[in-house]
């Protein structure tokens, strides 16, 4: 390699630097830096993956100058870019890592220093003004690794990055064909003894091929520095890393230099960030050549990127100044990409920014005319499909299915021990007899089962009768719409009441995900009203209403579950109910009341908001899933509010909801309505009496759960751990506070290692929150399963608490 440096002013891209750098190296050294393993398929895939990404520009976004700052491991970075670990920077420039450290420091960016650096840790640290991390290979002789880590920590390095994808080096054909040897006199400056001339031969003899996840514990024993792992390419390994207690993950295929045919890092990034669930930072390297590539990686969930080979190109072309200029180029490109996509800050990136072309496999699976791509881009689908709330139930179902031996406190479904298949036919027959007794002809009876029936429902009279007898709620059948479960009732109410962006739907938070999911499908962003630890407080709702009005918006409705709430299990006191109705009247809003657990809870229940409603301020969203049976999928909405049209004609809100329903489900299954009607007739409309045994069962389940929790966490231990829970008087759910982040990663560990499943409470907070709490459902478990499950849960909580404390 020569010593002349061309001017950097004629170089405008990282590709320009690569071309300029090629002539600065002899062939063997260039191939050592540029090459990959095998036929270099993964090396090419890294670049191709970014080439397929399409960023979506935004016009007139008003986002202003982009904010590129981010925070990783508690350290603020001006840009989400760091220099990746690479051996022997001295191949590109005699100053090697010292020059790179000065250039990275000028930009304020971290440098990850390789175990095989050509300059000493101390000289690099003296030159650096930005953060330094040490990339660690674990040698067969652990004392060698220990000495490296201790030296780096003394020199001021801030983190360890353990390479986990190299039990041996990949077969690098370019190096084999060149019989590559390091130039005379070039050695790893921080290692002593040994023959380092052939990097592959040295790795084969010195790297520990039997490493397992226990090495993380060992590193923590010898160092106080945070530990990241580099070389993760699957969600499975990401979860294993979290269980091992790592502080960060680097999605990496070693620059295409290990297993040839491994996926491109960008292709698996979304899978890994989903598996991590925000439990630790996720960084990515491999194939990044533009600022737009950095933005694409951030959009798919990365917290930052590591830039590799281009840094050596800059070093070879212009030494310290070459690296500094190259970093300026990619930072400027990132700023440009953020501005043109309307991305105001790194924190506000997301999947909607990118739309990748279909892969060859996807095109083969969905053939079309030559050159015609038939796959769909998720970024072009409705934005709500990228909202995590829509993945909540699917994720829980997937976890439950994946670990069938685990005891699950997650599903809030009724216990099916009370169901008898033959009852369906008995109830159906009873309703048909009822129709005949009322004078229906055989043709009319047949039509009641086989035809669509009225959109508003054909059993409204029976539901109205049940509400009068069970709830002391006297409403006309015409004010009821029979729906496909309560979920459709929510959808109808939100669609009718929220007419534009100035209208506001308020929700009590934590909140049942059904209402927030329905809102997001309708492009409505709910305003969360946070519950206090003691439950809902009207003062908080009033403050939220006034704040929205101050912003020029119109609060329209407030959604709440006053009885045995899902997810928290809290119940609203009578005085609070009266105050809430008064507040609704004063501020001219409607209340969306959802109370599915009243009739299946023991003891005397407080009156519903609707039964106390004297000014038609309450729209009641009802479900017969818990009180009768969930498979029928029959719910209802009571909407007796008057609606006046522009000509002064009046009608009911229920009529407007029925119009919407006619364009969605047309009607609720006539057969389902018939079976439900038969059950109501059997109980003379009194579902409370029908559920006496059921309510006692659920009450016992809640009692046993609370007793078992108290047994597993004696008062002193509970206080020491910071564990506490509420004590609901009914319903299916209770909330448990824990001293660690109860996220998806913790849930997976709980299921895999301890055999118990629960629901993160964070799922239920529309504006964030609940990170240190879990929801337990007690409805579906026997007393023995509750005892076993709480014991497993206690073991998990105590283990996870120790991990969180470090």
Torsion of CA 517, 521, 524, 530, to 10 degrees: 10
- Per-residue HEC secondary structure of 470-523 comes to HHCCCCCHHHEEEEEHHHHHHHHHHHHHCCCCCEEEEEEECCCHHHHHHHHHCC
Q: How far is CA 106 from the centre of its chain?
A: 36
* Structure tokens that stand for 784 in this block: 């023995």
Sheet architecture: strand order including 724-725: 724-725, 733-737, 773-777, 759-760
Torsion of CA 671, 673, 677, 678, to 10 degrees: 20
Q: Are 738 and 797 in contact (CB under 8 A)?
A: yes
Backbone angles phi, psi at 113, to 5 degrees: -90, 130
First vs last C-alpha separation in the chain: 48
Tally: H helices and E strands in the chain: 30, 25
Quickly list DSSP for 214-247.
HHHHHHHHH--S-EEEEEE-SHHHHHHHHHHT-S
Strand partners, 481: 637
3-class state of residue 555 by DSSP: strand
E-state strands within 97-210: 111-113, 132-136, 159-163
254 is catalytic: yes
Q: Is the peptide bond before 473 cis (omega within 30 degrees of 0)?
A: no
Of 89, 254, 564, 772, catalytic: 254
* Structure tokens that stand for 44 in this block: 């090419």
* Structure tokens that stand for 300 in this block: 């798919």
Angle at 425 between CA 419 and CA 427, to 5 degrees: 75
Of 484, 550, 485, 560, nearest to 526 by C-alpha is 560
Element (H, E) at 450: helix 442-450
* Catalytic residue positions, numbered: 254
């Amino acid at each position: 390699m020569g010593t002349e440096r061309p001017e950097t002013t004629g170089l405008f891209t990282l590709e320009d630097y690569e071309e300029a750098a090629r002539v600065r190296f002899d062939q063997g050294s260039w191939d050592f830096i540029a090459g990959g393993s095998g036929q270099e398929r993964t090396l090419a895939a890294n670049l191709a993956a970014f080439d397929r990404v399409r960023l979506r520009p935004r016009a007139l976004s008003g986002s202003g100058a982009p904010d590129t700052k981010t925070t990783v491991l508690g350290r603020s970075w001006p840009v989400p870019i760091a220099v990746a670990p690479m051996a022997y920077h001295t191949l590109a420039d005699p100053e090697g890592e010292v020059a790179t450290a000065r250039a990275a420091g000028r930009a304020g960016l971290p440098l990850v220093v390789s175990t095989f650096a050509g300059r000493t840790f101390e000289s690099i640290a003296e030159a650096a003004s930005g953060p330094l991390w040490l990339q660690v290979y674990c040698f067969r002789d652990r004392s060698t690794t220990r000495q490296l880590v201790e030296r780096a920590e003394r020199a001021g390095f801030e983190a360890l990055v353990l390479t986990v994808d190299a039990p041996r080096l990949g077969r690098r054909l370019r190096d084999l064909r060149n019989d590559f040897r390091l130039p005379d006199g070039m050695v790893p400056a921080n290692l002593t003894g040994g023959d380092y001339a052939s990097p592959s031969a040295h790795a084969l003899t010195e790297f520990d091929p039997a490493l397992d996840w226990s090495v993380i514990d060992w590193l923590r024993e010898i160092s106080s520095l945070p530990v990241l792992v580099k070389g993760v390419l699957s969600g499975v390994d990401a979860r294993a890393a979290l269980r091992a207690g790592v502080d960060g993950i680097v999605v990496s295929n070693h620059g295409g230099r290990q297993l040839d045919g491994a996926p491109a890092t960008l292709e698996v990034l979304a899978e890994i960030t989903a598996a991590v669930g925000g439990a630790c930072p996720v960084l990515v390297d491999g194939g990044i050549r533009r600022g737009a590539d950095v933005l694409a990686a951030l959009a798919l969930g990365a917290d930052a990127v590591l830039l590799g080979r281009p840094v050596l190109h800059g070093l070879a072309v212009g030494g310290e100044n070459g690296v500094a200029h190259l970093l300026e180029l990619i930072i400027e490109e990132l700023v440009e990409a953020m501005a043109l996509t309307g991305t105001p800050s790194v924190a506000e990136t997301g999947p909607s920014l990118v739309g990748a072309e279909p892969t060859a496999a996807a095109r083969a699976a969905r053939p079309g005319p030559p050159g015609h791509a038939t796959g769909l881009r998720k970024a072009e689908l409705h934005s709500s499909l990228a909202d995590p709330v829509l993945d909540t139930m699917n994720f829980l179902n997937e976890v439950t299915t994946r670990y069938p031996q685990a005891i699950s406190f997650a599903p809030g479904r009724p216990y099916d021990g009370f169901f008898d298949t033959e009852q369906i036919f008995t109830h159906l027959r009873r309703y048909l007899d009822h129709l005949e007794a009322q004078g229906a002809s055989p043709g009319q009876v047949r039509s009641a089962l086989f035809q669509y029936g009225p959109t508003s429902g054909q059993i409204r009279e029976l539901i109205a009768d049940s509400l009068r007898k069970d709830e002391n709620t006297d409403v006309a059948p015409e004010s009821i719409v029979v729906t496909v479960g309560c979920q459709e009732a929510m959808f109808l109410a939100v669609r009718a009441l929220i007419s534009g962006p100035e209208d506001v739907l308020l929700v009590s938070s934590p909140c049942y995900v059904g209402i927030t999911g329905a809102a997001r499908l309708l492009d409505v962003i709910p305003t969360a009203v946070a519950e206090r630890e003691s439950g809902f407080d009207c003062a908080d709702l009033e403050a939220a209403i006034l704040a929205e009005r101050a912003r020029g918006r119109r609060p329209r409705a407030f959604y709440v579950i006053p009885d045995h709430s899902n997810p928290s299990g809290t119940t609203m006191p009578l005085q609070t109910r009266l105050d809430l109705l008064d507040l609704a009247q004063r501020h001219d809003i409607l209340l969306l009341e959802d109370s599915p657990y009243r009739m299946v809870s023991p003891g005397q229940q407080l009156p519903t908001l609707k039964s106390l409603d004297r000014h038609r301020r309450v729209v009641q969203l009802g479900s017969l899933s818990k009180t009768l049976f969930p498979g029928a999928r029959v719910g209802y909405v009571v909407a007796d509010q008057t609606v006046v049209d522009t000509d002064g004609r009046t009608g009911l809100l229920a009529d407007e909801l029925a119009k919407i329903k006619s364009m969605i489900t047309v009607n609720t299954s006539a057969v389902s309505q018939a079976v439900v009607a038969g059950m109501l007739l059997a109980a003379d409309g009194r579902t409370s009496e029908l559920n006496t045994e059921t309510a006692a069962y659920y009450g016992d389940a809640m009692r046993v759960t609370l007793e078992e929790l108290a047994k597993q966490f004696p008062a002193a231990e509970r206080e020491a751990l910071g564990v506490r829970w509420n004590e609901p008087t009914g319903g299916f759910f209770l909330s448990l506070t824990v001293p660690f982040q109860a996220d998806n990663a913790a849930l997976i560990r709980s299921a895999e290692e301890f055999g118990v499943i629960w629901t993160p409470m964070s799922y239920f907070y529309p504006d964030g929150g609940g990170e240190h709490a879990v929801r337990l459902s007690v409805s579906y478990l026997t007393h023995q399963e509750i005892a076993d499950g709480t014991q497993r849960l206690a073991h998990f909580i105590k283990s996870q608490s120790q991990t969180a404390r470090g």
